[in-house]
Amino acid sequence: MVNRIYNFSAGPSTLPLTVMETIKEDFLDYNGIGASIVEISHRHQIFLDILENTKKLFRELTNLPKNYKILFMHGGAQMQFSAVPLNLISRKENKGSYFITGRWGILAEKEARLYGDTEIILDGKTYEYRKIPTFNNRKLDKGTSYAHLTTNNTLYGTRWNSFPNTWEVPLVADATSDILSRIMDYSKFGIVYAGLQKNLGVAGVSIVIIREDLIGNALPQTPKLLNYDVVEKQNSLPNTINVFAIYVMNLVIEWIKKQGGVLEMEKLAKKKSDLLYDVLDDSSFYKILAFPEHRSLMNVTFNLKNETLLKKFISNSEKEGFFGLKGHYLLGGVRASIYNAMPIEGVKELSSYMKEFEKING
């Protein structure tokens, strides 16, 4: 019997146990062919079937409109910080607009400056990124090429509960940390992209969901592997794709479908996060980072009011079988990432541990 811990890491994150077991079974001999999945050519029909099934399942789970294409690209979500402006910024005034609600928005806007002008149309810095300010869409220049936001902020534990109206300006969303954890109307976006390593599988690849009319606007200097037009026309295979990552994603979204789909994931996310927020709200021992109205359902961030006890909290938690609770190095504190694959039993045990730790040390 394998000794499995509860992995609360922000990413790479925990995977469903049944998916891990399937990977283990397939690794040496995929589907009885006598070769591993990682040994199969990305152009072999075996992999092409996996690729097409992955796209089909994603469309089904998201009710994705027909005029959206699904691309898979190297480099994870941060590579899209470059790909988005390279492909979109020349559409109108050679300018991209950015909603800054945390570290990933800061990095995305900084990267876009290499390829054109940028404007920051909302910045939560005043609130130390612990809440998302109200957006007045009259501030948005209708001539801007796109408007970019991060749907869920892993560092600060905040999220957009509803998304801003950007009129005819394409809204671009980095949904890495909450994709397929809540119902989203993809028709409201020009592009939604995400690294796979939190809710979709393993690291190294990003999924890009893009409206058809936005393809074909790349700057002349755009590298081939970052050009949406090239990637779409070659079925995400302009070079050797990460076969293993797509295979794992296929298993993960099959698992989500078996759990009841995205709606059930959303319900479960609320139950899991409530277990932790209820402990924190009832406590004078812990201190929540995010404002109540913008709390993430994926990343619960907090600190101890007596910060000298933080090291003890983390070390004791590891002895109890909880892994990855240490907060991001920029913020410190505690971060419990409870993505789709985290079982509710793990969250229940963590909430019990938090109560007991407060009882003993409070």
Active-site residue numbers?
A: 104, 174, 198
User: What tokens does 293 get?
Assistant: 């109205």
User: What tokens does 89 get?
Assistant: 């910024």
Q: Going by C-beta distance under 8 Å and a sequence separation of 6 or more, which residues neighbour residue 328?
A: 10, 154, 155, 335
Q: How far is CA 273 from CA 242, 248, 338, in A?
A: 32, 26, 8
Give dist(CA 107, CA 31) in Å, integer: 42
Give dist(CA 300, CA 154) in Å, integer: 8
Residue 117 has phi, psi (to 5 degrees) of: -85, 155
Residue 260 has phi, psi (to 5 degrees) of: 115, 5
Q: Going by C-beta distance under 8 Å and a sequence separation of 6 or more, which residues neighbour residue 41?
A: 47
* Contact in structure between 209 and 70 (CB atoms under 8 Å): yes
**What is the per-residue burial (b if ≥16 Cβ within 10 Å, else e) of 318-332?**
eeeebebbbbeeebe
